[in-house]
């Protein structure tokens, strides 16, 4: 449970974190989190929104693993977390790898599909431009995006953000964004190894100046061609890599590969069911409240009769039975 909680609070792993962490929750360089006795956590606003209205009979509950408690089969999910945060998993003969997307774009896409159920994937891409990785990076081309939007699987090339800057008579390559799921420390080691092995002899040194933001500085030798070195880094390191998309999820207890439109359709149907169940629950509560208020009005209108029934009763149970009988006889007479 603890590694899952930690993952939901890591800004470099989640597009929209569901946990607000306090303490050491690891780093993008692969550092482990502190033991759970040294950390604290609470839900973020979006984490709470996932479970909003769960107490209003909006989802089904089943017994937990030891049948002492019950747990929801699915969250009410007031926003499509699976599309926004993506997910990676491996099961028997199946695997899923969903990229994260921008929350605002996804909500716009959901609203557009509600307004126009016959919307095409191309029109949907007008709202959801493509993946939005929490570590930044650049997506090379749109062909892979269009493919997974339409079919549910495809491959996209992602490249870290780097710029060439002047440092006196020499140049430097400053890397400010790294591809999603790339370990920054391992990338630094790989660049240093390429320099040591003379694969890229133009590199004189590499250092990590990162704080909350990524900043790897690659120093170049005098007269080195920075653009050529950068292209070599893209070719030999994970500064450029690919993200293979396979949008497989469970729908109605069966695994299924979703296009983006199919995934949004399932979410819309889920929310429709949640809202209908919530409305029925609130209606039942309102009807129960109305019945009580009707009884209070009846009691106020015949307060002397009610007081007499209570005083003439021997105990609480007899008084309750007398009041119910009086209420029933009065209602029948009025009809």
For 5-25, how does the pLDDT look when each residue is reduced to its tens digit (9 = 90+)?
Answer: 999 999 999 999 999 999 999
Q: Mapped to the 3 state alphabet, what secondary structure does 176-244 carry?
A: EECCCCCCHHHHHHHHHHHHHCCCCCCEEEEEECCCCCCCEEEEECCCCCHHHHHHHHHHHCCCEEEEE
Cα dihedral: 180, 208, 221, 233 (round 10) = -10
Out of 92-106, 112-126, 290-304, least confident range? 290-304
Mean pLDDT of the chain: 90
Among residues 38, 39, 48, 119, the alpha carbon closest in space to that of 78 is found at: 48
pLDDT of residue 333: 56
pLDDT of residue 32: 93
Residue 330 reports pLDDT greater than 70: no
Residues 193-205 have pLDDT tens digits of 999 998 999 988 8
CA distances from 276 to 59, 201, 281, 304 (A): 11, 66, 9, 43
Residue 331 reports pLDDT greater than 80: no
How many angstroms from the chain centroid is the CA of residue 273? 20
Confirm if 262 and 212 have CB atoms less than 8 A apart: no
Q: Output 202-210 pairs: Cβ under 8 A, ≥24 positions apart.
A: 202/228, 202/229, 203/229, 208/184, 210/184
Per-residue confidence band for 322, with pLDDT thresholds at 50, 70 and 90:
confident
**Segments in the chain forming alpha helices (H):** 2-8, 45-50, 81-85, 103-115, 121-124, 143-151, 184-196, 226-236, 260-301, 303-312, 316-334
What is the distance between the alpha carbons of residues 71 and 49, in angstroms, rounded to a whole number?
A: 17
What is the distance between the alpha carbons of residues 261 and 40, in angstroms, rounded to a whole number?
A: 38
Residues 247-263 have pLDDT tens digits of 999 888 888 999 999 99
Catalytic residue among 2, 38, 148, 326: 38
Is 326 part of the annotated catalytic residue set? no
Q: What is the pTM of this model?
A: 0.84
Confirm if 50 and 59 have CB atoms less than 8 A apart: no
Confirm if 96 and 87 have CB atoms less than 8 A apart: yes
């Amino acid at each position: 449970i603890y590694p899952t909680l930690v993952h939901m609070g890591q800004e470099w792993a989640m597009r929209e974190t569901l946990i607000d962490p306090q303490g050491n929750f690891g780093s993008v360089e692969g550092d482990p989190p502190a033991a759970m006795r040294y950390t604290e956590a609470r839900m973020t606003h979006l984490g709470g929104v996932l479970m909003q209205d769960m107490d209003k009979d909006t989802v089904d509950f089943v017994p937990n693993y030891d049948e002492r408690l019950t747990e929801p089969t699915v969250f009410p999910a007031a926003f499509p977390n699976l599309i926004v945060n993506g997910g990676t998993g491996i099961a028997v003969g199946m695997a899923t790898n969903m990229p994260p997307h921008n929350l605002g774009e996804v909500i716009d896409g959901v609203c557009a599909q509600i307004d126009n159920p016959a919307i095409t994937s191309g029109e949907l891409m007008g709202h959801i431009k493509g993946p939005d990785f929490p570590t930044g990076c650049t997506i090379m081309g749109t062909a892979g995006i269009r493919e997974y939007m339409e079919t549910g699987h495809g491959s996209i090339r992602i490249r870290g953000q780097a710029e060439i800057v002047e440092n006196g008579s020499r140049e430097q390559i400053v890397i400010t964004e790294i591809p999603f799921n790339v370990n920054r420390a391992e990338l630094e080691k790989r660049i240093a190894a390429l320099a040591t092995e003379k694969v890229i002899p133009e590199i004189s040194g590499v250092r990590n100046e990162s704080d909350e933001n990524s900043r790897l500085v690659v120093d170049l030798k005098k007269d080195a061609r920075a653009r050529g070195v950068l292209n070599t880094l893209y070719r030999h390191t994970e500064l450029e890599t690919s993200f293979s998309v396979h949008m497989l999820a469970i729908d109605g207890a069966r695994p299924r590969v979703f296009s983006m439109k199919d995934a949004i359709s399932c979410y819309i149907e889920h929310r429709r069911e949640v809202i209908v169940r919530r409305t029925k629950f609130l209606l039942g509560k309102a009807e129960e409240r109305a019945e009580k208020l009707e009884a209070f009005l009846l009691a106020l209108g015949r307060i002397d009769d009610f007081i007499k029934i209570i005083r003439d009763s021997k105990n609480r149970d007899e008084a309750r039975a007398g009041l119910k009988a009086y209420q029933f006889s009065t209602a029948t007479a009025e009809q």
